[in-house]
Structure 1
Amino acid sequence: MKILFVVLRPAYIIHIRKIIISLRKKGNTVEVGFLDSHNKTEFDNGPVEYLMSETDGVLIRQIPNREDKWTNVVKAVRSVANYLIYFRDGHKSRSLAVRFHNKLPYFLLQLLQAPFVKKILNSVVGKAVFRYLERVIPEDKTILAWLQKNKPDVVIACPYIFSAVGEIDYVKSAKKLGIPTGAIIPSWDNLTTKGSFHVLPDTTFVWNDKLASEAIKLHDIPKESIYIAGAFKSDYLFAQNGSFDKGLFFDNIGLELNSKYILYLCSSANITSDETEFVKQFATTLANSPLTKQLKLVVRPHPLGTAMWEGFDMENVVVWPLDNVLPDNPSSERDYYYQLKYCEAVVGINTSALLEAAIVDKPCVTILSDKYKYTQFGLGHFHHLLNGGFMEISDDLDKAVAIIANITDGIDSRKVERNKFVKEFIRPHGLNKEVGEITGDYIESMTKSMS
């Protein structure tokens, strides 16, 4: 069987690497086609090199994007639909609609400011209009010809709902040709922070029941077309069963062996902007408490936010690592896992790293802050953290320090809830079931279900 993965950029291979490896082990032909060659970043190389080191025979190349005479019309129509999704009933990230302002023609943006226009376009009739427009917009002839020439048996798109053209048009053209299609929604926040489904794939892959519910309620995805797979990128955290010299690890970080430390996990810049001042306040509060003054604070920067930490200098605070932060190769995966494993607890504002800490069974603490109110309560995905039951939640620094003191004294009051959360949110098929393998098996079955 020949499976084509269509990704926005090579960096997204980090989410599907284990799926590809599983498919290759079973003798399938796998090709990865990426669309965007104009916005390459340092994060595009690591996932590709890691994949190629673990399996052979995977063709990775740039494939045509949509660039026909309909492209501008397609972008406008789909961008309006992406904007409107944020004003549907139950959407908890409404403020993020501003992201689409620069993608809309000025006259359309002005028209859409009227509440009654939003209401009409999000009604049953309005949704039908957008479905009709998508049907009358023709498939891109170049993409159709490319698929006809390369003859994939299945087309899987990822991340699918980020851009107005690209992966969507491969799914649209594949459906026209009768090729089974799927869309992998790679992260837990995508359904409430990105665009929408302009073309429905045959199968939509999500992490869990809660995200399936979002797909149904916010994006009108038919329940029967959703496959609950688990957290695609996190398989490596379950597989770290080897040993790594603890003394060497602490030496790498810059701590004395067996130092007790709290791990602060930074959020992305669009969540917290510059976290250095907040960390200074937190570190000072830790140091001033007689219950926690012996603790070190280790700060792990967000992969896209290392620059703000260069030159940061504060007693009892270590910033590490400043490079090789993204876990997209064996050494960075190992370092991240053991950085989590050896800490006493983790602290974060609103980051996927809190989920990853739960996988490693570490107590998790979040601090509700007026400074970050917009990017905590104002974003739909943060409610998965708040309502997950696995985190200690504090509304100020002093209370957070008191919670940490209890944790270091052996009081882990959220352990049962944390393990339950991991089973339900991260690996719903079972803790011993690799998400990459489960998803690969389902992709293999898609041609049979379509025949």
Structure 2
Amino acid sequence: MEKKQPLRYIASMAMLFLFGNLKFLRVSARFLDYHLVRDKRLDKYFKKYKPNLVFTSNIIVPLDRSFLRHAKKRGVRTVGMINSWDNITLSKYPFRILPNHLVVHNAIIKDEAVKYLDIPKEKIFISGLPHFDFYVTGKRSTREEFCTNLGISSDKRIILFASIGSSLNPTERQVLSLLDDAIVKEKLPKDMVIIFRQHPTEKTLVGDTNKSSNIIIDDSKTILTKENSYSEILTKDMEHLADSIFHSDVMINTASTMSIDASVFDKPVINIAFDGWEEKQFHESVSRFYKPSHAHYQPIVKSGGVRITYSIDDLIEVINLYLNDPTLDKKGRRRIVEEQCYKLDGQSGKRIGIFLLSLIKN
């Protein structure tokens, strides 16, 4: 299996190249979807409600594509939203059907939509990040309240380690263990505590590290099913996330959107580009996330707002640098916010609502 994986990686990169650069392939795929796909599951809803406009908030998922398909065949205008910054350039999901209008977070994604989705720029609306509105409008807990809630001393300095999950980085537990060891051996300050924030959709197995007094495992989310099969980030979870960033001293993650979240709060950001104590081939290593093939993360890499570390010694050194001077790379973090957030004014959701109403009225 391991011998086949490099070939799979090369094949996936080749497919990205072909669909990214050959417009006729993209157009053909959409033509075939429209004429060949038989989709009846939403018929009764369109017959019952007779919508004037259909808005889908995440056009990469099958249900949203189904709404777009039904609307298009009935001549109903559609608006779709790009939900995440990697949806277009990583092409994890096929854009076999497109809306009449597209809502995106920023100008970078707008340019990608014009280039790779063939959507006219006048049909694309930039909104900002609606889930970041809460960062502006929400009220933060006091440090004492936050620390008491997690059972840690309020005089501890905090490293917030934001997980991306084992499927993308299976060696996060190793990095966590190495950081714990660094605190024990006083390579990092003794007054440090690490909050390891589990990814909301995928739990990382942390092993014995959850027994360390230097580590808090934080799995804050709301479970909505008895089988624990579906969870969601609700208001109280967003409050806790915002508090976690606000009260942290340093943020660590692996090429995650959390680099943007931390920059909003002007918190130093460190990226992991090594595989714990393992040596992995490039196609398996997390170092691949920082290369041009992961185009969505290149603006972060080039921003000057994050430090990318390639070993545990690098990571320890940069943590200590930021603890001594948290203003380092402040200008780069500001650039990240300007490029990724469009307007950080708490009005992104409102802008989307006004845009949708304007389409209905016109």
Question: What interval of TM-score do these two structures reach, taking the shorter chain for normalisation?
Answer: 0.7 to 0.9
Q: Distance in 2 between matches of 1:275 and 1:412?
A: 27
Moved more, 297-306 or 142-151: 142-151
Counterpart for residue 296 of structure 2: 381
Q: What amino acid is the match of 1:349?
A: T
Deviation string, structure 1 residues 342-387 (Cα, Å, up to 9, x no partner): 1111111122222211122211111321541234435333323312
- CA change 1:127–1:272 in 2 (3 A) is closer
Q: Distance in 1 between matches of 2:244 and 2:18?
A: 48
Residues 267-416 of structure 1 correspond to what in structure 2 (within 5 A)?
A: 267-290=164-187, 292-306=189-203, 308-309=205-206, 312-313=209-210, 315-324=212-221, 328-369=233-274, 371-377=285-291, 379-416=294-331
- CA change 1:286–1:211 in 2 (3 A) is farther
Moved more, 319-328 or 382-391: 319-328
Q: Distance in 2 between matches of 1:396 and 1:443?
A: 48
8 A Cα contact 2:134 2:346, kept in partner: no
8 A Cα contact 2:157 2:192, kept in partner: yes
Deviation string, structure 1 residues 274-320 (Cα, Å, up to 9, x no partner): 52112112332354355634322221121234361375345452223
Q: Distance in 1 between matches of 2:71 and 2:347?
A: 28
Cα distance, 1:120 vs. partner?
10
Counterpart for residue 144 of structure 2: 247
Q: Distance in 2 between matches of 1:143 and 1:123?
A: 32
Counterpart for residue 228 of structure 2: none
Counterpart for residue 47 of structure 2: 148
Q: Secondary structure at the match of 1:152?
A: coil
Q: Secondary structure at the match of 2:195?
A: strand
Q: Distance in 1 between matches of 2:332 and 2:80?
A: 31
Cα distance, 1:336 vs. partner?
1.7
Q: What amino acid is the match of 2:323?
A: T
Counterpart for residue 280 of structure 2: none
Counterpart for residue 279 of structure 2: none
Counterpart for residue 158 of structure 2: 261
Q: Distance in 1 between matches of 2:131 and 2:122?
A: 24
Counterpart for residue 438 of structure 1: 351
How large is the Cα RMSD of the aligned pairs? 3.1
Q: Secondary structure at the match of 1:272?
A: coil
- CA change 1:372–1:130 in 2 (3 A) is closer
Counterpart for residue 98 of structure 2: 200
8 A Cα contact 1:206 1:230, kept in partner: yes
- CA change 1:96–1:303 in 2 (3 A) is farther
- CA change 1:333–1:200 in 2 (3 A) is closer
Q: What amino acid is the match of 1:388?
A: S
Q: Distance in 2 between matches of 1:119 and 1:359?
A: 36
Percent of aligned positions with the same letter in both sequences? 21
- CA change 1:336–1:120 in 2 (3 A) is closer
Q: What amino acid is the match of 1:151?
A: K
Is 2:62 aligned against 1:157?
no
Q: 2:32 aligns with which of 108, 121, 133?
A: 133
- CA change 1:124–1:300 in 2 (3 A) is closer
Cα distance, 1:253 vs. partner?
1.8
- CA change 1:346–1:200 in 2 (3 A) is same
Deviation string, structure 1 residues 175-217 (Cα, Å, up to 9, x no partner): 3333220111111122224223222211111111111122222
Q: Secondary structure at the match of 1:255?
A: coil
Q: Which 5+ residue runs of structure 2 have no aligned equivalent?
A: 1-7, 223-230, 276-284
Q: What amino acid is the match of 1:444?
A: L
Q: Which 5+ residue runs of structure 1 have no aligned equivalent?
A: 1-93, 100-112
Counterpart for residue 88 of structure 1: none
What is the TM-score normalised by the length of structure 1?
0.66
Residues 98-117 of structure 1 correspond to what in structure 2 (within 5 A)?
A: none
Is 2:140 aligned against 1:225?
no
- CA change 1:416–1:373 in 2 (3 A) is closer
8 A Cα contact 1:144 1:174, kept in partner: no
Q: Distance in 2 between matches of 1:337 and 1:119?
A: 40
What is the TM-score normalised by the length of structure 2?
0.81
8 A Cα contact 1:155 1:182, kept in partner: yes
Q: Distance in 1 between matches of 2:37 and 2:334?
A: 48
Q: Distance in 2 between matches of 1:120 and 1:249?
A: 47
Q: Distance in 2 between matches of 1:327 and 1:363?
A: 27
- CA change 1:126–1:415 in 2 (3 A) is closer
